[in-house]
Amino acid sequence: MAAPRLAFQGITKEFPGVRALSDVSFDIAPGEIHALIGENGAGKSTLLKILSGVYRPTSGDVKVDGTSIQLRKPEDARRAGIAMIHQELQQVPHLTVAQNMFLGHSITRLGGIIVNRTEQERRAAEALARIDRTIDPSAQISSLKVAQRQVVEIARALLDKAKVIAMDEPTSSLTPSEFDRLAEIIKELAASGVSIIYVSHKMDEVFRICERASVMRDGKLVGIVDLKDKQPQDVISMMVGRELVHEEHRSHVTSAVSVEVRGLTTHRVRDISFDLHKGEVLGIAGLVGAGRTELLRALAGADRITSGTVKVDGKALALSNPRAAIAAGIGLLPEERKREGIIPGRSVTMNMALPSLGAFSRGGIIRHGEVRRTAETLLARVNLRPFQLDKQIKLFSGGNQQKAIIARWLAAGSRVLLFDEPTRGIDVGAKSEIYHLIEELAAEGHSVIVVSSELPEVIRVSDRVLVMREGAIAAELPRAELSEETIVSHAVGKGKQEQAHV
What's the pLDDT score for residue 1? 60
Residue 198 and residue 292 in one domain: no
Long-range contacts of 385-390 (CB under 8 A, 24+ apart): 388/348, 389/347, 389/348, 389/349, 390/347, 390/348, 390/349
How confident is the model over 274-304, as pLDDT tens digits?
999 999 999 999 987 899 999 999 999 999 9
Alpha carbons within 13 A on the beta-carbon side of 324: 18
- Over residues 6-16, the mean pLDDT reads 95
How confident is the model over 174-205, as pLDDT tens digits?
777 888 889 999 999 999 999 999 998 888 89
How far, in Å, CA of 32 to CA of 257, rounded? 54
- Over residues 446-461, the mean pLDDT reads 93
How far, in Å, CA of 418 to CA of 398, rounded? 17
What's the pLDDT score for residue 245? 59
- Over residues 470-478, the mean pLDDT reads 96
pLDDT at 33 over 80: yes
| Structural domain includes residue 435 | no
How far, in Å, CA of 175 to CA of 172, rounded? 9
How far, in Å, CA of 413 to CA of 172, rounded? 31
How far, in Å, CA of 373 to CA of 360, rounded? 11
| Number of domains, the chain | 2
What's the pLDDT score for residue 338? 86
Q: Which of 240, 264, 280 is the last residue of a domain?
A: 240
What's the pLDDT score for residue 167? 92
Q: Which of 174, 206, 240 is the last residue of a domain?
A: 240
In contact, 138 and 121? CB cutoff 8 Å: yes
| Structural domain includes residue 169 | yes
Distance from chain centroid for Cα 445: 28
| Structural domain includes residue 385 | no
Residue 76 and residue 100 in one domain: yes
The domain containing residue 258 runs over which residues? 252-329+461-502
What number of other Cβ atoms are within 10 A of residue 323's Cβ? 11
Residue 47 and residue 148 in one domain: yes
* Least confident stretch, 254-258, 394-398, 469-473: 394-398
| Structural domain includes residue 426 | no
| Structural domain includes residue 108 | yes
How far, in Å, CA of 101 to CA of 156, rounded? 5
Residue 299 and residue 200 in one domain: no
Residue 16 and residue 95 in one domain: yes
Residue 27 and residue 170 in one domain: yes
What's the pLDDT score for residue 304? 95
For the chain, how are helix, strand and coil distributed in percent, rounded to 5? 35, 25, 40
Say what percent of the chain tops pLDDT 90.
71
| Structural domain includes residue 170 | yes
Q: Which of 240, 269, 286 is the last residue of a domain?
A: 240
Strands 272-277 and 257-265: antiparallel
How confident is the model over 394-430, as pLDDT tens digits?
999 888 999 999 999 999 999 999 999 998 878 777 8
What's the pLDDT score for residue 499? 40
CA distances from 253 to 6, 315, 441, 459 (A): 53, 21, 11, 16
Distance from chain centroid for Cα 500: 21
* Least confident stretch, 107-121, 140-154, 434-448: 107-121
Residue 225 and residue 281 in one domain: no
How confident is the model over 62-85, as pLDDT tens digits?
999 999 999 999 999 999 999 999
How confident is the model over 330-388, as pLDDT tens digits?
999 998 888 899 999 999 999 999 999 999 998 889 999 999 999 999 999 999 989 99
Sheet hosting strand 18-28, strand order edge to edge: 18-28, 6-15, 59-64, 67-68
- Over residues 6-33, the mean pLDDT reads 94
Strands 82-85 and 164-168: parallel
pLDDT at 500 over 50: no
Residue 276 and residue 236 in one domain: no
What's the pLDDT score for residue 178? 83
Residue 315 and residue 192 in one domain: no
| Structural domain includes residue 227 | yes
Q: How many residues does the chain have?
A: 502
pLDDT at 26 over 90: yes
Distance from chain centroid for Cα 481: 28
Nearest to 479 by CA among 464, 467, 468: 464
Arithmetic mean of pLDDT over the chain: 91
How far, in Å, CA of 86 to CA of 84, rounded? 6
How far, in Å, CA of 213 to CA of 194, rounded? 17
pLDDT at 243 over 70: no
| Structural domain includes residue 438 | no
Residue 233 and residue 262 in one domain: no
pLDDT at 502 over 60: no
How far, in Å, CA of 474 to CA of 463, rounded? 17
pLDDT at 497 over 80: no
Residue 315 and residue 176 in one domain: no
Res. 104 pLDDT band, cuts 50 70 90: confident
Res. 247 pLDDT band, cuts 50 70 90: low
CATH number, domain at 468? Answer: 3.40.50.300
Residue 133 and residue 219 in one domain: yes
What is the chain's Cα-based Rg?
24
Neighbouring residues of 135: CB distance < 8 A, sequence distance ≥ 6: 97, 128, 144, 148, 151, 152, 155
Torsion angle defined by CA atoms of residues 389, 391, 396 and 401, in that order, rounded to the nearest 10 degrees: 50
* pTM of the predicted structure, to 2 decimals: 0.70
